[in-house]
Structure 1
Amino acid sequence: MAILWFVAFLCFIFLWQWIWNKQSPFKNWPVFGMLPRLLQNAPNVHDHATRFLLDNGGTFEFKGPWFTNMNFVLTCDPTNIHHILSRNFSNYEKGPKFREIFEPVGDGIFTSDSDSWRYQRKLIQSMIKNKKFELFLEKVSRGKVESGLIPILDHVSSNGIEVDLQDVFQRYTFDNVCFMVLGFDPNCLSIDFPQVAHAKAFDQMEKSVFYRHIVPESFWKLQRWLQIGEEKKLSNACKIFDQFVYQCISSKHEELSRSRTLKVEEAKFDLLTACIEQEAEGGEMDGFTKSNKFLRDMVFSLIAAGRDTISSGLTWFLWLVATHPSVEAKIIKEMREHLLVNSEINWGIDEVSKLVYLHGAICESLRLFPPIPFEHLCAIGSDILPSSHRIIPSRRILCSLYSMGRMESLWGEDCLEFKPERWISEQGRIVQVPSYKFIAFNAGPRTCLGKDMSFTQMKIVASTIIWNYRLQLVEVHPILPSLSVVLHMKHGLKVKITKRDL
């Protein structure tokens, strides 16, 4: 009799689930929850999540398999996001689960909370606001364009060959950020497109961290314990990248020790030098010491921020410009008006800051294709969101930045169009949009410290390419987002390049 009752109970559950699932594209199966549908739609997860969020008022509770810790709340509702990232900021942190998933990143600013996060943010802010570093940033950005980017594009153009611009940008930004953070140029950006072990290791670490997001925790932990599959690849990649970073840290200590002074010239004031200089001047601050492990974790966070967000932003931006000739023409017209002096173009920081239309076009690209498509947080205590969804302690929250850029309620019926004009006022100035609405650089206390640096570098690279070259997209080449914590193009951006006659 007990067996009959149990079978009847299971039949009831399946019948109830079947009725509920007929009305929902995100099926919640017994035992497996909504994971099967998530895996089924993983290749197109961003657009699938967007459609589902828009059909469900902007917020949805995802149910993972039974007896797993995969339940989370997904939202693109700007009132919820404003509440989580600003108004009730103290109740939401990265949390231990986030740090466990992002274990390869270490305890840098992206994974830390509370006092550690505040200390690192204060430290990094003081370094990037240093006038020496601002001068160094301009020198490195322009220097790498002139010595690396332009020679490669000239070579590709003169030989009439196809090139993957995403690969070019990733090489450019990796060289750039390594030089600005470590004072070391790995020279990934050269005509022979060398395979650089630590750069490839960095890519693998990103892929493996995303993998941890879409499979049950017990599965990837088992792989980690057995050292098989994706976790073995991750372990090998971490060893390669850590060896590179620790070698750079050791070399920097030796370099500064030999110089017998920490007063570094403006010509080379990388962030690692700045951090060590502060350590020498102030010693220990707020109970945190700058051990090699601390420096490694800080370096990793800064390289991730400076490499991937800018390369992703540039890739999607140049694709959008290449497919919208009228936008390209307006950018060239603006450059001719503001940068052209005596038949010469000046790409200095002050000069590119005058390019309002280019700035609006970059904002529009970041709205549609934010480099970080999801913001991942965890609730400390109970809460009720403005959407009336109840949040229990330790509940994970995913804010979909990608979906926010596709909301008619925020951006109008033309929200899917690439329209830089929406960012420019009648007076010809940039329209100031609240950060919880345009969240490409995060919002609230965690707003990106490198926002201005990112815009500067993107403007220098984008304006250089648009002014000097025409981009022709390779026909039938698919343009799709990749499965990664960063919104790269899955198959790259294949183009042919020709010199522009102006």
Structure 2
Amino acid sequence: MLPAVFQNSHQIHDYLTQGLIEFGGTFEFKGPWFCDMDMLVTSDPANIHHVLIKNFSNYPKGPEFQKIFEILGDGIVNTDHELWEFHRRTTLSFLSHVKFHKLLETSVWRKVEKGLFPVLDYFSEHGIDFDLQDIFQRFAFDNICNLVLDYDPSSLCNDLPCIPSQKALDDAMEALFHRHVLPESIWKLQKWLGIGKEKKLIQAWKAFDEFIYPRIPIEEEERKDDDFNLLKTFRKAYEEKINGFLSTNSRDFLRDTSLTLMLAGRDTTSTCLTWLFWLIATNPVAEFKIREEIETKLKLKENKKWRFFNVKESQKLVYLHGALCESLRLYPPLAVERKSPIRSDILPSGHYVHENTKVMFSFYSVGRMETVWGKDCLEFKPERWISERGGIKHEPSYKFPAFNAGPRTCLGKETSFIQMKMIAASIIYHYHIQLVEGHLVLPRDSVIVQAKYGLRVKLSRRNV
């Protein structure tokens, strides 16, 4: 099957989806015998539930996954057992702290006021078309750096400066996706020779280290600072719980933690917002309904002032929430997930998996399966997320795995929704967005489902 993969590498997610549809949601991929590429590919919610929830303990990340994502070191994405539980507890304690929502709201508001709106106004006033995906990535990058490192790189400004570590995130994700689909011997050879995607990954690794390490404060500096801070929370927990348990020191551990959170924080929000605005630009009725909801539920019809939407207001926007869920259903930021059992197992689909068999989940394909979402699965319908009583309709994570499923469900799920609703509401209320005619919008062949060529748009300011 390898030649067909190479032939369709430019549209790999849609190629996998078509294969999964033809084989009823699960198929066995066969590669050359000497490449160790055989794997089971599935988008069956029953299989997802079995592996990620019901039989979770039998499917750890394992050494194969850790080899692929070695750049993340001892971050939460790469760890199992005690260290993973430590990461989860520490992150939850920070996100559930009474000060966190205020910190988040202040950070987002400052970036909207000082970065997002000045840039959008500049493009609008000059009638210049631009890449909206790049704007969202810069916004999310600045915001997550501020939350994690207490540092604003200010990549979102009128001259759109090149920040090496910001660009390195895209290069790293593309290289890591190729590690998923290429034989290990090939990508290891590329790494040794310093060529291809592996060369970009080496350069990205260097850019991350040069960006993060100088911004990890030394312990003496932290003791003088009583502010609510993520790195301070993790360093304290590290010293109390796992100092001596790991071979890495506290600075290396904080580097791994910071990079993992930066990847998750930037790509989830920016990718979802990019596809949301493409979807509503191609579905103007949905744009009208979102704007109508903002004006009626927040009583803004008589309000002529430029304004920002806070956490409390964003929670009232049910239709907008549904639109974001549709964006995540059709274009989940994390396209694929990979697992291997430590003991042989039988999946609900009837497929037998041997010990250490590679099982790949295509989250991208789940949202495109008629057997899961019905005959209208390819349609953008925010209404499918609204209950009969007008509230938000929730779907099980194994059917809607945009934030993964089971114990490894993304801890920042609610934080992501809050940010995205505040940002989307602010833009939709103040601007009308028009796609640049002829611009091609396709999913990128990467672990993260970004728009391959960006999202080029023109803006016009609304009279509000």
Per the shorter chain, which TM-score range? over 0.9
The residue number in structure 1 matching 2:370 is 408
Offset, 1:338? 2.4
1:141-183 deviation per Cα after TM superposition (whole angstroms, max 9, x unaligned): 1110111000000000000001100011111100000000110
- Report SS of the residue matched to 2:77: coil
The residue number in structure 2 matching 1:436 is 398
Separation of aligned partners in 1, 2:364 and 2:230: 31
Is 2:76 aligned against 1:113? no
Separation of aligned partners in 2, 1:291 and 1:133: 24
1:93 to 54, 57, 60: 60
Alignment of 1:89-488 (within 5 A): 89-249=56-216, 251=217, 253=219, 255-257=221-223, 259=224, 262-264=225-227, 269-279=228-238, 282=240, 284=242, 287=245, 291-340=250-299, 343=303, 345=307, 347-488=309-450
- Report SS of the residue matched to 2:393: coil
AA of the residue aligned to 2:226: K
AA of the residue aligned to 1:457: Q
Offset, 1:380? 1.0
Offset, 1:284? 4.5
Separation of aligned partners in 2, 1:371 and 1:442: 10
What is the aligned residue count?
A: 460
1:275-328 deviation per Cα after TM superposition (whole angstroms, max 9, x unaligned): 234457x46479468611111111111001100111100000011011111111
Q: Which moved more, 1:371-380 or 1:269-278?
A: 269-278
Offset, 1:274? 2.5
* Distance 1:93-1:279 versus aligned 2 partners, 3 A rule: closer
Mapped contact 1:179–1:270 kept (Cα < 8 A):
no
- Report SS of the residue matched to 2:397: coil
Separation of aligned partners in 2, 1:270 and 1:252: 14
Separation of aligned partners in 2, 1:362 and 1:189: 23
Separation of aligned partners in 2, 1:273 and 1:483: 36
Separation of aligned partners in 1, 2:218 and 2:118: 30
Is 2:45 aligned against 1:45? no
AA of the residue aligned to 2:83: S
Q: Which moved more, 1:164-173 or 1:194-203?
A: 194-203
Q: What CA RMSD, in Å, does the superposition of the two structures yield over aligned residues?
A: 1.7
Mapped contact 1:82–1:436 kept (Cα < 8 A):
yes
* Distance 1:423-1:252 versus aligned 2 partners, 3 A rule: farther
The residue number in structure 2 matching 1:21 is none
* Distance 1:274-1:226 versus aligned 2 partners, 3 A rule: same
Larger Rg: 1
Offset, 1:501? 2.1
Offset, 1:255? 3.2
Mapped contact 1:252–1:273 kept (Cα < 8 A):
no
Q: Which moved more, 1:164-173 or 1:336-345?
A: 336-345
Give percent identity, aligned residues only. 50
The residue number in structure 2 matching 1:22 is none
Separation of aligned partners in 2, 1:81 and 1:301: 23
Separation of aligned partners in 2, 1:212 and 1:285: 32
TM-score, normalised with respect to structure 1: 0.89
TM-score, normalised with respect to structure 2: 0.96
Separation of aligned partners in 1, 2:244 and 2:297: 46
* Distance 1:171-1:252 versus aligned 2 partners, 3 A rule: farther
- Report SS of the residue matched to 2:76: coil
Offset, 1:475? 0.6
Offset, 1:106? 1.4
AA of the residue aligned to 1:146: E
The residue number in structure 2 matching 1:31 is none
Mapped contact 2:385–2:392 kept (Cα < 8 A):
yes
Mapped contact 1:133–1:270 kept (Cα < 8 A):
no
* Distance 1:134-1:278 versus aligned 2 partners, 3 A rule: farther
Mapped contact 2:90–2:233 kept (Cα < 8 A):
no
Separation of aligned partners in 2, 1:159 and 1:77: 48
* Distance 1:346-1:209 versus aligned 2 partners, 3 A rule: closer
Separation of aligned partners in 2, 1:199 and 1:442: 24
Mapped contact 1:39–1:214 kept (Cα < 8 A):
no
1:372-431 deviation per Cα after TM superposition (whole angstroms, max 9, x unaligned): 111111111100001110000111111111111011122111111000011111110111
Mapped contact 2:431–2:461 kept (Cα < 8 A):
yes
Separation of aligned partners in 2, 1:189 and 1:57: 44
1:336-370 deviation per Cα after TM superposition (whole angstroms, max 9, x unaligned): 12224561555110110010111011101111110
Separation of aligned partners in 1, 2:374 and 2:142: 39
Offset, 1:46? 1.1
Separation of aligned partners in 2, 1:441 and 1:134: 20
AA of the residue aligned to 1:121: R
Is 2:35 aligned against 1:76? no
Mapped contact 2:235–2:250 kept (Cα < 8 A):
no
* Distance 1:346-1:236 versus aligned 2 partners, 3 A rule: closer
- Report SS of the residue matched to 2:99: helix
Mapped contact 2:130–2:458 kept (Cα < 8 A):
yes
Mapped contact 1:441–1:451 kept (Cα < 8 A):
yes
Separation of aligned partners in 2, 1:94 and 1:497: 44
Separation of aligned partners in 2, 1:332 and 1:111: 41
The residue number in structure 2 matching 1:11 is none
Separation of aligned partners in 2, 1:460 and 1:56: 41
Mapped contact 1:371–1:486 kept (Cα < 8 A):
yes
AA of the residue aligned to 1:134: H
Separation of aligned partners in 2, 1:397 and 1:202: 25
Mapped contact 1:383–1:392 kept (Cα < 8 A):
yes
Q: Comparing both chains, which one has the higher relative contact order based on Cα–Cα distances under 8 Å and sequence gaps of 6 or more?
A: 2
- Report SS of the residue matched to 1:93: coil
1:46-90 deviation per Cα after TM superposition (whole angstroms, max 9, x unaligned): 111111111111101111211122111100111111101111111
Mapped contact 1:182–1:273 kept (Cα < 8 A):
no
Q: Specify every segment of 5 or more residues in structure 2 that has no aligned partner in the other structure, as ranges.
A: none
Q: Which moved more, 1:124-133 or 1:316-325?
A: 124-133
Q: Which moved more, 1:298-307 or 1:111-120?
A: 111-120
